[in-house]
Amino acid sequence: MDDFACLPNHVNKMRRNYLDIVIDMAKRPLLVNWYNELNGTNLVDIPQTEIDTFVSQLHDSEYFLS
C-alpha cells in the first residue's frame, strides 16, 4: 500500500518522482543483493534483458501499479 500526501496541484510531480525512484531501483540488483546478504545465499541475478524490458514498461506506464 502506498500513501502519499501533497497538494492537489503537485500530484503529477509526486507520481512522476515515485515512478522515477521505482525505475532507478529496477535498474539495480538491490533486492537480489539484499536477499543474498540476509540469507547467505547466492541467487543468480536477473538477466539484463529482463531488467531492460521491465524498465521500458515502467517508462511507458502512468503509475507504478498500473
- Angle, helices 48-60 vs 11-26, to 10°: value is 170
**Who contacts 65 (Cβ-Cβ below 8 Å, separation ≥6)?**
2
Cβ atoms 26, 54 nearer than 8 A: yes
Answer yes or no: is pLDDT of 11 > 80.
yes
pLDDT at 51: 75
Residue 40 — very low, low, confident or very high, per pLDDT cuts 50/70/90? confident
Answer yes or no: is pLDDT of 6 > 60.
yes
Task: Return the DSSP state at 42.
Answer: -
pLDDT at 9: 93
